[in-house]
Amino acid sequence: MGAIATIANRDLKSFFVSFKGSVTFCFLLLLMGIFFRSFAATFLEIQAQTLQTGGEAPKLSQLLTAIFQNLHFILLFIVPAITMSSFAEERKTQVDRLLQTAPISSIQIVMGKFFASAGVLGLVLMASIVYPLFLFKYGNPEIGPIVTSYLGIFLLMCAQVAFGIWVSSMVSHQFLAYLFTSFGLFLLLILAWVAPNISGGGASEEFVKYLAATPHLDNFFAGLISVADLGYFFAFIGLFLFFTNVAVDAKRWS
Amino acid sequence: MIEVVGLQKSFGNIVALSDISFKVAKGQIVGFLGANGAGKTTTMDILCGCIGADAGTAKIAGFEISEDPIEVKRKIGYLPDEPPLHREMQVGEFLTYAGKLHGLRGDRLTVRVADLIERLELGSNKKRLIGQLSKGYRQRVGLAQALIHDPEVLILDEPTEGLDPHQILQIREMIRGLKGHHTILFSSHILSEVESVCDQLIIVDKGKVVEQGTHNELILRLDGAREYHVRVRQGALALAEELKTDFGQLSRITVKEDEQLVSFMSKEGDEILDLVARRVLDRGYGLKELAGKSKKLEDVFFQITR
């Protein structure tokens, strides 16, 4: 555990030392702020209209879904920027030999890199807590769906990071890592929408839909935590961390 | 302390190592000598666990690298040809990080970092970013990183490469200062450097160990083909022709006519000087100088790897 924390801590600090890191952090935080501001304004507008005209008032889960699904789209560009240098850059500059010659296992290296990137995104989420706090200032929203939405989006981020560091461990240039990660995450995003077109319907369509990340977030945005959704994200993270470990080990002993 | 047997490694169709076997005793500084591409870095990378070998075994302090990689890495400090440094970190911060990777914590880590900063004269640069340091200082930080866990074995891959003459001398002095406490495998393609720093030499060529021993042992072993010079007052060209036709035991006979100097190689030992001197005097060439050239590491190296 010591080595994992050491690697994660160094990479996390190093991220914020770089210009790229600070810009990425601020950019994501700013976009989240814009989403909160604009969707909350729309939400309040619709709420006011329904009070006057009658009809069904908008639900908090709808607001959270709108905010976080849009954020999901932005993450396609942000997560690869964070994970691309995990392995690719160190391999290019041969700094990876520092870890390779230290008395630590591949899985410790992989976990250290994973926690560093997940930590960056976790810090963005922590900083963004200020946005939902405004909802409490002007209204009385349920806290449950907000907490579960945050949990859902953090699990999504972790899954994306696991995928991103796997790609970074496979290629030797961080630009390629960025491109492949973005493309992979985009496929994961649209899988649920294109499932009817790429599968023969029935069970295979359901299976393709299950692989997509988006449907697994809906419960979290509605304030529900299901074992199936948690299982999906943990399995996804575990699988890609395993792949990364295999790739790092294979490169070490090739 | 280091025992390598039959190491082989290929990258695709390119054979990097075909047969590397050698032993290094505890406390020695051993020079790993070879031309660029001879297989020095590949061997060192295998010893340090950066890459795996296709065949053969490599033991460090009794532990086999493929079986006990973690234990081997505890025993080894490695300075690759390009020091693995995080340029955005400060010197002290980086050494603390390297120490933590090797399991050092608390006071032990603080004391070790302070000690290395003092020994490698990095005190004035402790708070500077590594990326801002000169190459010589970066090399020192790399050396400090390799020494952070006080390893029994130190593997240095061309540690003076790219440094200016002053920095080269400093790094060599530092390496000499580590003798005794650490077993050091030191690679270089600079012959004079290996000669001045190392107790033993291992010469590699085309992925094979071609010789191993002390400087004197290698020279004695290969002294069968020592080089000699004979300087005459006149007729160096004619003398060279005579030596070629009448002295079959001589080889590589060359002549510098303007200096009236004839050089040749002989496996006969110094007795050949009597025969050549007699011939020079009998024919009236006029003997000015007759000498066996003292063999240098360069001669051994070129003779072996020719």
C-alpha B111/C-alpha B75 separation (Å) is 20
The pLDDT score that the predictor gives to residue A161 is 95
- Residues A239-243: contacts with CB within 8 Å, 24+ apart? A239/A162, A240/A159, A240/A162, A240/A163, A240/A165, A240/A166, A241/A110, A241/A111, A241/A114, A241/A162, A241/A165, A241/A166, A243/A166
C-alpha A55/C-alpha A40 separation (Å) is 19
A105: chain B residues, CB-CB within 8 Å: 70
B269 touches chain A (CB under 8 A): no
Closest residue by Cα to residue B51 from B37, B36, B69, B75: B69
Type of residue found at B43: T
C-alpha A250/C-alpha A245 separation (Å) is 8
pLDDT at A194 exceeding the cut of 80: no
SS3 content of chain B, % helix, strand, coil (to 5): 40, 30, 30
Shortest CA gap A158–chain B (Å): 25
CB contact under 8 A, B100 and A94: no
SS3 content of chain A, % helix, strand, coil (to 5): 85, 0, 15
Give mean pLDDT, residues A101-121. 92
Type of residue found at A199: S
pLDDT at B189 exceeding the cut of 80: no
C-alpha A147/C-alpha A133 separation (Å) is 12
Give mean pLDDT, residues A67-90. 87
A99: chain B residues, CB-CB within 8 Å: 101
**Portion of chain B with pLDDT greater than 90, in percent:** 12
The top-scoring range by mean pLDDT among A163-167, B36-40, B104-108, B260-264 is A163-167
Cβ(A184)–Cβ(A167) below 8 Å: yes
The pLDDT score that the predictor gives to residue A118 is 94
B74: chain A residues, CB-CB within 8 Å: 103
CB contact under 8 A, A254 and B52: yes
Give mean pLDDT, residues A113-134. 89
Residue scoring higher pLDDT (B217 or B111): B111
B84: chain A residues, CB-CB within 8 Å: 94-98, 101
pLDDT at B194 exceeding the cut of 80: no
Integer Rg of chain B from CA: 25
Q: Which of residues 52-111 of B touch A (CB under 8 A)?
A: 52, 66, 70-71, 73-74, 76, 78, 80, 82, 84-86, 88-89, 97-98, 100-103, 105
Is residue A25 very low, low, confident or very high in pLDDT (cuts 50, 70, 90)? Answer: confident
The pLDDT score that the predictor gives to residue B9 is 86
**What count of residues does chain B have?**
306
- Name the closest residue on chain A to residue B48, using Cα atoms: A101
- Using one digit for the tens of pLDDT, what is the confidence trace for B55-100? 888 888 888 888 888 888 898 999 988 889 998 899 999 999 999 9
Number of Cβ atoms within 10 Å of the Cβ of B257: 11
B86: chain A residues, CB-CB within 8 Å: 10, 14, 95, 98
Look up the ipTM and state it.
Answer: 0.84
A98: chain B residues, CB-CB within 8 Å: 84-86, 98, 101, 145
| pTM of structure | 0.81
Give mean pLDDT, residues B122-134. 87
Type of residue found at B278: R
Cβ(A149)–Cβ(A64) below 8 Å: yes
Number of Cβ atoms within 10 Å of the Cβ of A208: 18
C-alpha B306/C-alpha B296 separation (Å) is 15
A37 touches chain B (CB under 8 A): no
Cβ(B16)–Cβ(B22) below 8 Å: no
- List Cα–Cα distances, B248 to B251, B265, B268, B292, in angstroms: 8, 11, 11, 18
Cβ(B194)–Cβ(B26) below 8 Å: no
| Angle in degrees, 0-180, between the axes of helices A60-83 and A106-128, rounded to the nearest 10 | 140
Beta strands in chain B (DSSP E): 2-11, 14-24, 29-33, 55-60, 63-64, 76-79, 153-157, 183-188, 200-205, 208-213, 226-232, 250-256, 261-266, 287-292
- What is A123-183 written as a DSSP string? HHHHHHTHHHHHHHHHS---HHHHHHHHHHHHHHHHHHHHHHHHHHHH-S-HHHHHHHHHH
Cβ(A126)–Cβ(A151) below 8 Å: no
C-alpha A100/C-alpha A72 separation (Å) is 34
CA A86 to centroid of chain Cα atoms? 16
Cβ-based neighbours of B252, under 8 Å, separated by 6 or more: B227, B263, B264, B265
C-alpha B77/C-alpha B143 separation (Å) is 9
Is residue B297 very low, low, confident or very high in pLDDT (cuts 50, 70, 90)? Answer: low
CB contact under 8 A, A103 and B73: yes
The pLDDT score that the predictor gives to residue B223 is 58
- Name the closest residue on chain A to residue B46, using Cα atoms: A253
CB contact under 8 A, A103 and B86: no
Lookup: tokens for A158 = 């972790």
Domains and CATH numbers, chain B: 2-213 (3.40.50.300), 225-305 (3.30.70.100)
Shortest CA gap B144–chain A (Å): 12
* B contact test, residue of A101, A106, A108, A252 with most B CBs within 10 A: A101
Residue scoring higher pLDDT (A128 or B222): A128
Average pLDDT, chain A: 86
Residue scoring higher pLDDT (B215 or B108): B108
The pLDDT score that the predictor gives to residue B302 is 67
Shortest CA gap B27–chain A (Å): 21
* B contact test, residue of A98, A108, A248, A252 with most B CBs within 10 A: A98
A6 touches chain B (CB under 8 A): yes
